[in-house]
């Protein structure tokens, strides 16, 4: 049985496509609207975020699944779903406002899928990266990754929580700190600026680090401000856990320098040139280095709850789907800060 909106959907939709890589633009195309089937539900996208990873995809960095629609950060309204999807997530219904994770076509048989940690499934596809994503008027998402959002949360604020937000939240959770302990967040882009607010909300002391003036100005404007801001890689030490959210090697070695003996470094970014740490930091300071990948559906639900309760927000810049060229030009601006989202 398929449940769908009473008003009939048209058969085609606008989408921002990548047909070949490397590309310096998306192509605005008209393509068929997919059908909800099996474990997937169809959502009418309210807003979809642009993440640093999307620029890597445009550049051919993941090399798979072309042509595809960009974006891995969806928020929208459920317009079509089948019985199989309801067996998986019985709380869903037509008209629900949801966000979802970008994992698709999970194998269901590997040990990570079986034990519920399917973000590590090495057989799954990723919307906007290896299969169609969410810069489209409609898109498919897995029922198991859908989380209903409160009416008070706009789609524009909700979309970035599905990657930037849940990534920050999961890393903070992995830090396993108690209120009053100190976390440093090095890199104050979309992930770091949400992380600062979430860490403050749960009672941590927050050291925010970035060498760029614009992101510092941004985190300083939040209601949930950091306790200390550092704008160059020198001085200070004594942090319990440092989240490495930035790519430059200098930010990694500085992260190790400010972390106390027996403290922890959590790598959140994916620096293509690798990470730079001194062996002396790991040996003589007994630092532990961990990775933290994205999040699962429980993390996404907790992210939505925490952000809505604390009024944690991204600094949003909206671009209509027709303005996609202007949107990519915005990413080239040095003084650009906050989060870009597409509207329809
Ligand atoms: Zn992302
Ligand atoms: Zn699997």
Do residues 253 and 282 lie in contact, with contact meaning Cβ atoms separated by under 8 Å? no
Q: At what angle do helices 164-175 and 190-201 cross, to 10 degrees?
A: 50
What's the token pair of residue 276?
């730079």
Q: What is the model's pLDDT at position 57?
A: 95
Please give the distance of CA 132 from its chain centroid, rounded to a whole number: 17
How far, in Å, CA of 62 to CA of 84, rounded?
31
pLDDT at position 62 over 90: no
Q: Which two tokens stand for residue 201?
A: 């909300």
Least confident of 93-97, 115-119, 333-337: 333-337
How many beta carbons lie within 10 A of that of residue 23, not counting itself? 17
Q: Where are the CATH 3.90.180.10 domain residues in the chain?
A: 2-163+295-343
- DSSP string covering 133-187: -SSBSEEEEEGGG-EE--TTS-HHHHGGGGTHHHHHHHHHHHH-PPTT-EEEEE-
pLDDT band per the 50, 70, 90 thresholds, residue 65: confident
For the segment 193-248, what is each residue's pLDDT rounded down to a tens digit? 999 999 999 999 999 999 999 999 999 999 999 999 999 888 778 999 999 999 99
Write down the architecture of domain 2-163+295-343 according to CATH. Answer: Alpha-Beta Complex (3.90)
Measured distance CA(101)–CA(297) in Å, rounded? 7
CA of 47 to the centre of ligand 1 (A): 14
**Locus of tokens 């925490």:** 306
Task: Note the pLDDT of residue 6.
Answer: 65
Structure tokens at 203: 């009672």
Q: What is the DSSP letter of 196?
A: H
Long-range residue pairs from 280-284, CB within 8 A, at least 24 positions apart, any chain = 281/253, 281/256, 281/257, 282/256
**How far, in Å, CA of 41 to CA of 96, rounded?**
11
Protein residues placing their CB within 5 Å of the ion ligand 2: 107, 110, 113, 121
191 CA → ligand 2 middle, Å: 26
Name the more confident of 2 and 279. Answer: 279
User: Distance from the CA of 53 to the center of ligand 1, in angstroms?
Assistant: 5
CA of 144 to the centre of ligand 2 (A): 14
What per-residue confidence (pLDDT) applies to 338?
83
Distance 39 CA to ligand 2 centre (A): 14
Helix or strand or coil: residue 191? helix
Interval between CA 267 and ligand 1 midpoint (Å)? 15
Tell how far the Cα of 273 is from the centroid of ligand 1, in angstroms.
Answer: 18
Q: What CATH number was assigned to the domain covering residues 165-291?
A: 3.40.50.720
* 56 secondary structure, DSSP code: H
Query: How many angstroms is it from 283 CA to the middle of ligand 1?
Result: 33
C-beta separation of 57 from 129 below 8 A: yes
Please report, rounded to a whole number, the percentage of residues in the chain having pLDDT higher than 90. 88
CA dist 74 and 138 (Å) reads 10
Radius of gyration of the chain (CA): 20
Over residues 49-64, mean pLDDT? 91
In the chain, CATH 3.40.50.720 sits at: 165-291
% pLDDT > 70, the chain: 99
């Amino acid at each position: 049985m398929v449940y769908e909106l009473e008003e009939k959907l048209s058969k085609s939709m606008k989408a921002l496509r990548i047909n070949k890589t490397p590309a310096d633009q998306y192509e605005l195309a008209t393509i068929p609207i997919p059908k909800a089937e099996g474990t997937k539900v169809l959502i009418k996208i309210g807003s979809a975020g642009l993440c640093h990873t999307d620029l890597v995809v445009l550049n051919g960095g993941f090399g798979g699944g072309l042509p595809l629609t960009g974006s891995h950060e969806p928020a929208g309204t459920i317009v079509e779903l089948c019985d199989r999807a309801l067996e998986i997530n019985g709380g869903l219904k037509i008209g629900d406002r949801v966000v979802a994770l970008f994992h698709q076509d999970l194998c269901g048989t590997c040990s990570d899928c079986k034990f519920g940690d399917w973000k590590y499934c090495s057989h799954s596809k990723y919307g906007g990266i290896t299969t169609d994503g969410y810069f489209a008027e409609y898109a498919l998402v897995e029922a198991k990754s859908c989380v209903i959002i409160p009416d008070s949360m706009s789609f524009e604020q909700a979309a970035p929580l599905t990657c930037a937000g849940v990534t920050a939240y999961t890393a903070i959770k992995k830090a396993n700190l108690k209120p009053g302990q100190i976390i440093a967040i090095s890199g104050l882009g979309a992930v770091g600026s949400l992380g600062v607010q979430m860490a403050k909300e749960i009672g941590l002391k927050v050291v925010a680090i970035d060498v760029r003036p614009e992101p510092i100005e941004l985190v300083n404007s939040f209601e949930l401000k950091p306790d200390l801001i550092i704008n160059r890689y020198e001085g200070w030490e004594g942090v319990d856990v440092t989240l490495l959210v930035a790519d430059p090697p200098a930010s990694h070695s500085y992260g190790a320098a400010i972390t106390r003996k027996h403290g922890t470094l959590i790598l959140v970014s994916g620096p293509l040139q690798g990470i730079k740490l001194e062996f002396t930091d790991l040996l003589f300071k007994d630092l532990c280095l961990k990775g933290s990948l994205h999040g699962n559906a429980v993390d996404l639900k907790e992210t939505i709850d925490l952000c809505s309760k604390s009024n944690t927000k991204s600094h949003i810049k909206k671009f209509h789907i027709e303005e996609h060229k202007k949107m990519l030009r915005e990413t080239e601006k040095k003084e650009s800060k906050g989060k870009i989202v597409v509207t329809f």
